[in-house]
Structure 1
Amino acid sequence: MKLGLRRRLAVLLGAALPMAAAWAQAYPTQPVRLIVPFGAGGVTDTTARVFAEGLTRELGQPVVVENRGGAGGSIAASAVAKANPDGYTLLVITNGMYAVNPLIYKTLPYDPNKDFAYIAMLANTPTVLAVSADSPHKTLPDLIKAASAQADRIAFSTAGEGSDNYQVLEVLQQATGVKMLHVPYKSGAESLTDVMSGNTDVTAISAVTATGYIQAGQIRPYAVTSSRRLANLPDIPTAKEALGQDVEGGSLSGIAAPAGTPPEVVARLNAAIGAVAGGAMAQDKIYARGSERMDGSQEAFTLRVAQEQKKWAGILGRPGK
C-alpha cells in the first residue's frame, strides 16, 4: 500500500515538473508591476523607469511602474513581501531598505532576509551634498561650522529615514560630530525642492539628477560622496577633499521578488535585467550620468545584501537582526 502510494506520488511529481517548467518558460503572460519605494523624480524612480522600459521590450509584456513612497521604503517592501510569488509583482529595493531600516525602526512589516528573492542589482549611485544657490554657507566646512555652533541649527531634508540621502547625511553627522535637524519627505525630488526654496539648509542629491540643477544654477554643490571624483561632474571635489573626512554613500538599487517565486522565473528576470543593463539606453540615461553598473548575478546581489547589513550595523552602532 505504502509502495503504491509512493509510486503514485512520484508519477504526479514527474508530471508536475514539466508543467512548472513550461509555465516558467511562458512567463510573463500579463503585465508586470514594478513597485518603486519612493515618489517620482528621484534616482530610484528614474532608474526604475529606464529598466521598466527596457524590460517591457525584453519580456514582451508591459512593465508598469507604481510609486509607493513612505516609511523609508517599508510601505512598498511590505506590499511586495505579501504579494503572490508569481513574478508579476516586483520591487525596486535599495540598501536602506534591507540594511538601514532594520536598525532604525523598532518593527518592520517585512523581513529583508526572509521575504524576498534578490534578483539583480541595477546601479550604485553616489550623491552630491548640495545647498541652495544663495545659501550663506559657501563651503561644506562653513556648513559644518554653523551646525557645530548649535545642535539642530542646520536642517537637512531627505526622502525619509532609510533613504540614500538620509544615509549620507547620517554618515556626515557621525564623521563631523555635529547634530542637524532631519526633515523627511516621500521623495528625493521633494527634499531637493525644500532646499532650493530655503526651507531646509542641505540635502544629498543623486549624481544622476544633480547635473541639470547645477548647470541651471539652482543649487551649489559641495562635494560628491564617492571615493573619487565623478567623470560627469569632474569639478566637484569628493567629501574627503572638501572636508578631510570620509563621507561615502548613495543609492544601491536592485530588483527583488517575493520569496517563493519560482527559480525559473527569477532566472528569466535576471537575464532580462542583464540585457537591459548592457544596452545603450541604460548606458546613456543611467551609467553615463554618475551611476555605476553592478555585477548582475543573483549571487552577487545576495552577497552584497549581507555586506551592506554588516556595514550599516557598524556605522549605526547597533547589531543587525
Structure 2
Amino acid sequence: MKLFGTVALGLVLSAGAALAEYPERAINMVIPYGAGGATDISARTIAEPLGEAVGQPLVMANVTGAGGATGSVAVQNARPDGYTMLFARVGSHSVNPAMKATLPYTLDDFRFVTVYEINPFACAVSSNSEIMSMEDLIAQAKGDGVSYSSSGVGSGLHLAGAMILDAFGLEDAANAATHIPQQGGGAAATAVLNGTADFLCTNTSALAGFVSNGQMRPLMVTTAEPVVGFDAPTAASLGHPELEQMVGWTGIAGPAGLPDDVAAKWGEWMAEAAGDEEFVSQMEARGSIIRVMSPEEANAFIQTQYETFRALVDELGMRIEG
C-alpha cells in the first residue's frame, strides 16, 4: 500500500510538472482559409507578437476547403492538449453552422480561448467597373444581372452578398444574383479583379490593400461611421442600419476538452500579443477593431452571431440541407 501511494504521488507530481511546462514544443496553428484572405492576414499579422508571448514557435498552416470546414475539422479531431489550435472566423463558426445542415461539427466541438478582432464588411468592385455606387449595382442586378464572389459556399462572404442585395431591394437575392465561390478570400478578391465576378462583400481588412493601391472601388461599408481609407458611404447613411450586424471576427479555439489551465494561458498570451503597438497599428489601418475577449465573452459573442445569421439564413431561404 505504501509503495502504491508513493507511485501514485509520483505520477501526480509528474503530471503537474508536465502541465506546468506547456508549451514545451512548437504549436500548430491552423488557418482554415487561403492566403490573402481576412483570416490569413489577421493570423500572420499577429503571429510574431503572439509567438513571442507563447515562447515557442507557431507553425502556421493554411488548411483550406469547404468554406473553412476542412481546417476546422482538422482541429476538432486533434488532441485537446493545446498543440493544435485554430484561427476561427465568422464564416467557419457563425455562418457555416447557421447555413449548413450537414456541417461535420458544431460550436460545442470547440473551446474558444478568445476573439480578438472585429471588422466591418465592405462591398467593392474592380476600379475598371462601370458600377460606381450601390444604386448602380442594384440597377444592374435588376437588369442584366450581377455576379459576386465568395470564399466558398456557405461562407460569410456568400451570406453577405445575398443579404446586402436583399436589403437593397433585389427580390429573391439568394437566387437572382450569380454566386461564384472561390477557395478563400484572396481568391474571391482576385475573381473581381480579373472580371470573373462583378463584386464582392468582404471584410475591410481583406480589401484595404486593393483599395489603397487603386485596384478596387468600395461602394459601401457596413458601419454607422466611415472607415478610414474607404471613401464610401456607410450602410446607415444609405438607409440600411440593419446591415451593421454584418461584421467579421477572428478568434482562437482548440478542440472541446481543452484544459482550463491551457485556456487560461492563451488568455494571457493574447492579451499581451494584441497589445503590441505595431500589430494594432497594422490591423487598424485595415479597418479592424482590436478587442480581446475572455473565453466567456467570446463564446457568448459567437453564440449571438450564430443566432443572428441563422435567422437571416432562414429569412433568405439559404439553408443548405445537403
TM-score (norm 2): 0.88
The answer on 1:237 being equivalent to 2:233 is yes
Q: C-alpha deviations, 1:100-122, integer Å up to 9, x for none?
A: 21232231222222x11110012
- SS of the residue aligned with 1:127? strand
C-alpha distance in 2, partners of 1:263/1:108? 27
Where has structure 1 moved over 6 Å in runs of 4 or more? none
- 1:88 corresponds in structure 2 to 83
1:105 maps to what in 2? 100
Secondary structure at the residue paired with 2:243? coil
> Corresponding residue for 1:129?
123
CA distance in 2, matches of 1:271, 1:202: 40
2:283 matched to 1:286? yes
Q: Tell me the SS of whatever aligns to 2:179.
A: strand
Distance verdict in 2 for CA 1:21–1:163, change over 3 Å: farther
Pick the aligned partner of 1:301 from 298, 308, 319.
298
Matching residue of 2:210:
213
Residues 96 and 167 in structure 1, CA contact (< 8 A), matched pair in contact too: no
Offset at residue 204 of structure 1 (A): 2.0
Q: CA RMSD in A?
A: 2.3
SS of residue in 2 equivalent to 1:157: strand
Q: Aligned ranges for residues 69-218 of structure 1 at < 5 Å? A: 69-113=64-108, 115-149=109-143, 153-178=145-170, 179=173, 180-218=177-215
Counterpart Cα distance in 1 of 2:299 and 2:10: 32
Which whole-Å deviations, capped at 9, do the CAs of 1:237-287 have from their partners, x for residues lacking one?
112324656323232110000111221111111210111001113212213
How big is the shift at 1:30? 1.0
Q: Cα deviations across residues 7-60 of structure 1 (Å, max 9, x unaligned)?
A: x79x94x66554444322211111111101100111110111122222211111
Letter paired with 1:207: T
Contact 1:34 1:52 in 2 (8 A): no
Count of aligned residue pairs for this structure pair: 308
CA contact (8 A) 1:126 1:250 kept: yes
Give the secondary structure class of the aligned counterpart of 1:191: helix
Q: 1:35: which partner in 2?
A: 30
The 3-state SS of whatever aligns with 2:114 is: strand
Structure 2 residue 239 is matched with structure 1 residue 247: no
Q: CA deviation at 1:167?
A: 3.0
Judge which range, 161-170 or 37-46, deviates more. 161-170
Q: Is the 8 A contact 1:121 1:255 kept in 2?
A: yes
Question: Cα–Cα, structure 1 residues 226 and 72, in superposed 2: closer, same or farther, change >3 Å?
Answer: same
Identity %: 31
Unaligned runs of 5+ in 1: none
Task: From the superposition, tell whether residues 167 and 226 of structure 1 become closer, same or farther in structure 2 (CA, over 3 Å).
Answer: farther
SS in 1 for 2:107: coil
Letter of the structure 2 residue corresponding to residue 83 of structure 1 = A
What is the CA–CA distance in structure 2 between the aligned matches of 1:15 and 1:311, rounded to whole Å? 50
Contact 1:121 1:254 in 2 (8 A): yes
Is the contact made by 1:51 and 1:273 (CA closer than 8 Å) also made in structure 2?
no
Which AA in structure 1 matches 2:166? Answer: Q
Find the residue that maps to 1:238 and give its secondary structure: coil
Conservation of the 8 A alpha-carbon contact between 1:96 and 1:163: yes
Provide the TM-score with structure 1 as the length reference. 0.88
